[in-house]
Amino acid sequence: MSELHDKTISQLLLDLDNKAFSSVELTGHYLDRIERLDPAINSYITVLREPALARAAAMDVARQKGIHPPLAGIPIAHKDIICTQGVRTSAGSRMLDNFIAPYNATLVEQLNDAGVVTLGKTNMDEFAMGSSNENSYYGPVRNPWRADRVPGGSSGGSAASLAAGLCAATTGTDTGGSIRQPAAFCGITGLKPTYGRVSRWGVIAYASSLDQAGPMARTAEDAAHLLQAMAGFDHRDSTSINQPVPDYLAQINGSIKGLKIGICTEYFDEGLDDDIRTAVMAAAKTLESMGAILSEVSLPNTQHAIPAYYVIAPAECSSNLARYDGVRFGYRCADPESIEDLYKRSRSEGFGREVKSRIMVGTFALSAGYYEAYYRKAQQIRRLISADFSQVFDQVDYILGPTTPSTAFKLGEKVDDQVAMYLQDIYTIAVNLAGLPAISIPAGQSQGLPIGLQLIGRHLDEGGLLKVAHNFQQASDWHAQRPNDGQ
């Protein structure tokens, strides 16, 4: 059954309905591939072989009875920042290496209700802080397309496991591009929903006003399957949006004729790789040939997005990570001499370099005498960035551009250059600051490495983004390309 891992969710569901194979067989196929292939990729932190097979057997019984949930028997994996009851949830950190989540995140509950089988928890940058998946306590993840390249971050394990055919779909979180950037680097589809569209309850917080969970899948249609289950209001999350969830799968096959798509001039600056520029413009022409209307648009405050983000996000992480003190849960240093020693050593030993760096920056930005100069100013810039998007969306329906300035870079290449690493998110961060939805889809290759196309939409227009992406994928086959032929 070597071809199973190349199938989309839609194809797998049809085959399961037609009894071409059982969910136990499908789950076993993925688990065997994980055992055989993942040691070289390191995309999983925890693998749940026995629970996954038991769940698959239960979904097979449900199918035999003729009444089953919509995603019954589909094997997926969760980013290890998302709480899963009774299973280690580490956030990629030594700090939570021994933390067993006592409850399921809302999105895990929703996907369980939809019938998925959880294969395990995927590797990630510690507490979602990073753009390369080199900041994990469990070691770096390798890109399945080329072993010496990064998969992107922070949801690098989720992207790599899917690209390598080690699951049918995954979940990720996106604070400044952490779903879209690894999706671009690994040649998959990644959707960052509108802030508040998917509940954050049970998702370990990095920056609470920016974090957003979303689906990572082979195609836009597969992403629609997952989002249908994940989206919705949650009374336990005060930032959750209380709006009806549309039928994403029903919307996806609509025409894009007459849709206005703006090509953002700021996203085609001198820092963009020429091959990516060519591929993205070719993708735009493909959409134009399908009836979309192209025009140039400008987001002038985009240049301020990275400095604003790297004040706001560390400030929020400084507050959110204050709870990890060696007292209540998580890592605790050995033989502390005093309560002060307990705090200091538990945090200094439990957190990695990047996390400690961001905590220090955030604490400084929030300190007396600097709050007005840094944090308040960054929030004012955030408002300007949001206003830019509002003005552009008065002219066009969607904004198009590259997801990343380059293809996947080499492991270790940017570890000692923080600014170069932060610039990897230059085209994605503004979307999080404005709370908008955006999707990255495969749109080409450069020297055998995937290229990502980013589409940005209005608030709550995930359905429209999925429709445009699906139309493009009907006219191209970049999403069907596999590293090493999927073997």
Question: Which residues are the active-site residues?
Answer: 79, 154, 178
Separation CA 11–CA 459 (nearest Å): 30
- What is the Cβ-side half-sphere exposure of residue 380, based on CA atoms within 13 angstroms? 7
The DSSP secondary-structure symbol of 227 reads H
Separation CA 400–CA 453 (nearest Å): 7
H/E stretch holding 307 reads helix 305-320
Q: Is-contact 278 451, C-beta < 8 A?
A: no
To 5 degrees, how large is the angle CA 321–CA 326–CA 331? 90
Separation CA 74–CA 168 (nearest Å): 7
Q: Is-contact 370 364, C-beta < 8 A?
A: yes
Q: Is-contact 464 437, C-beta < 8 A?
A: no
Q: Look-up: residue for tokens 């969607």? A: 398
**Closest to 103 in 3D by CA, of 199, 223, 240, 196:** 199
**Closest to 30 in 3D by CA, of 64, 7, 60:** 7
- Sheet containing strand 117-122, strands side by side: 44-47, 117-122, 75-79, 169-173, 213-217, 189-192, 438-446, 449-456, 398-402, 260-264, 293-297
- List the end-to-end C-alpha distance of the chain, in Å, as a whole number: 11
**Closest to 429 in 3D by CA, of 248, 308, 258, 263:** 308
**Closest to 185 in 3D by CA, of 194, 197, 172:** 172
Q: What 3 state SS string does 147-189 have?
A: CCECCCCCCHHHHHHHHCCCCCEEEEECCCCCCHHHHHHHCCE
Q: How much of the chain is helix, strand and coil, in % rounded to 5?
A: 45, 15, 40
φ and ψ at 431, to 5 degrees? -60, -45
Whole-number CA gyration radius for the chain: 21
Assess whether the previous peptide bond of 154 is cis (omega < 30° from 0): yes
- At 78 the three-state DSSP class reads strand
